[in-house]
Amino acid sequence: MRAAFLTLLLLAAPAAAQLSPAEQRMVRTVDAGRERDVQLLERLVNQNSGTMNLPGVAAVGRVMRAELDALGFTTRLVDQSAVGRAGHLVAVHRGNGRGKRLLLIGHLDTVFEPSSPFQRFVRDGDIATGPGVNDMKGGLVVMLAALRAMRDAGTLRTADIEIVLTGDEERPGRPLDTARADLLAAGRRADAALEFETLSRENGADIGSIARRSSSSWELRVTGKPGHSSGIFGASAGNGAAYEAARILDAFRSELPEPNLTFNVGLLLGGDAVALNEDRTGGSATGKTNIIPRSTIALGDMRTLSEEQTVRVRTKMRAIVARNLPGANAEIAFTDSYPPMPPTAGGRALLAKLNEVNRDLRMPEMAELDPAKRGAGDIAFVAKDVDGLVGTGIAGSGAHAEGETADLASLPRQAQRAAILMTRLSRERR
């Protein structure tokens, strides 16, 4: 009976950690380098790199380049002056050519331009506050900490890794095929991708992510017959531009909703004369209460989980727009920004491998995040060619807003996860 009881205890106990000596060394290296990593994070955050601050983005790129050069990567800068943006940083490490080729993705810029009052890194225990501290300068530090641990354990030597750090993720240059040419090419060469954006958390637990929704915009332009308001709805005057725009937008609200779809009206102008400003963030409208409005403009965005969903929803929107009220005409146009990254079996297989790492580190397994809770990102550009994990960077909150924070306690565990996962993937046959 005693033997049977002991057997039951063994069966109920967690499995013993299966870390190799090299993996154990990676864990120790990350732990030992924590304060160094926080100091590097402070340095990066205190260098403003708002997307349109081209010298600032370049300065962050130089810091990252020096760190990657020291790790044995071959680095180069990709000029993006043709699209009005700072350059990208591409780094390549040649291994033995036998294991899976890894693509690591990140970005050098933030949404906080030099005009923002939010400029400095502040630490309070394990919470750091600063512009871009989690999106995504904390992720850059996680990436470097993981690679440094691999080098010290000897596992980086045989790993084939390509890194693409864009200089304009927060506001991509156009045309997109030029702005993302190097990332697209790297995706075609890779067998697995890791994007070091902010780690997702729910109810205090780290969550895995294998999908992102798209981001695109739409512009609705409506015209009507101007005239005295006393003739509104009549056979001659018709319904005017304002009522036609209201019909269309309300039909969007009632007819379009489906899972994983959101669409928003961000700007609406209507009147006798309407004009957008140069950067399309506002404009002017003039009119009178007794004049039927001649023009209405609405600008909005749309987010979908697949290309098929994008096509389907846009087809519905065009059909709604075409059902014009008498005396009005409307047109809608779409502009792509970020493609969707739908969940795949390959992505789930990568998350399963990450959870094997979690078990061996005696960390909780990570559930799969609802894609609707993740915004658009650069990894989606390569999603057609390679499966990937999203959010392998630092945890934090308040991204894109003053007061953005990072949880410094998440930095070492994320670096340990990444170092071990990359090592194991690099040893799998292609």
Mean pLDDT of successive 10-residue stretches along the chain, which has 430 residues:
44 58 98 97 98 97 98 97 95 96 98 96 98 97 98 98 97 92 98 98 96 97 96 94 98 97 97 93 95 97 97 98 96 96 97 98 97 92 97 96 97 98 96
In a 10 Å sphere around its CB, with 0-12 CB exposed, 13-18 middle and 19+ buried, how is residue 184 labelled?
A: middle
Name the β-bridge partners of 178.
none
**Alpha carbon of 219 to those of 71, 181, 297: distances in Å?**
47, 27, 7
pLDDT at res. 295? 97
Domain spans in the chain, listed from the N-terminal domain onward: 16-212+341-426, 215-338
The CATH number of 215-338 is which of 3.30.70.360, 3.20.20.70, 3.30.930.10, 3.30.2270.10? 3.30.70.360
CB–CB of 217/337 below 8 Å? Answer: yes
Which tens digit of pLDDT belongs to each residue from 51-85?
Answer: 999 999 999 999 999 999 999 999 999 999 999 99
Task: Name residue, tokens 């992720």.
Answer: 139
In CATH terms, are 16-212+341-426 and 215-338 the same topology? no
pLDDT at res. 17? 59
Amino acid at residue number 192: A
CB–CB of 363/325 below 8 Å? Answer: no
Tell me the C-alpha distance between 11 and 5, whole Å: 10
Q: What is the mean pLDDT of the chain?
A: 94
pLDDT at res. 375? 85
pTM over 0.85: yes
pLDDT at res. 418? 98
Tell me the C-alpha distance between 389 and 209, whole Å: 6
Please work out, in degrees rounded to the nearest 5, the angle formed at the alpha carbon of residue 429 by the alpha carbons of 428 and 430: 115
Tell me the C-alpha distance between 411 and 393, whole Å: 8
pLDDT at res. 15? 40
Q: What number of other Cβ atoms are within 10 A of residue 211's Cβ?
A: 26
pLDDT at res. 279? 85
Pairing of strands 102-107, 161-166: parallel
pLDDT at res. 187? 98
3-state secondary structure the chain: CHHHHHHHHHHHCCCCCCCCHHHHHHHHHHHHCHHHHHHHHHHHHHCCCECCCHHHHHHHHHHHHHHHHHCCCEEEEECCHHHCCCCEEEEEECCCCCECCEEEEEECCECCCCCCCCCCCEEECCEEECCCHHHHHHHHHHHHHHHHHHHHHCCCCCCCEEEEEECCCCCCCCCHHHHCHHHHHHHHHCCEEEECCCEEEECCEEEEECCECCEEEEEEEEEECCCEHHHCCCCCCCCHHHHHHHHHHHHHHHHCCCCCCEEEEEEEEEECEEEECCCCCCEEEECCCCECCCEEEEEEEEECCCHHHHHHHHHHHHHHHHCCCCCEEEEEEEEEEECCECCCHHHHHHHHHHHHHHHHCCCCCCEECCHHHCCCCHHHHHCCCCCEEECCCCEEECCCCCCCEEECCHHHHHHHHHHHHHHHHHCCEC
The CATH number of 16-212+341-426 is which of 3.40.50.300, 2.40.50.140, 3.40.630.10, 3.40.50.150? 3.40.630.10
CB–CB of 365/206 below 8 Å? Answer: no
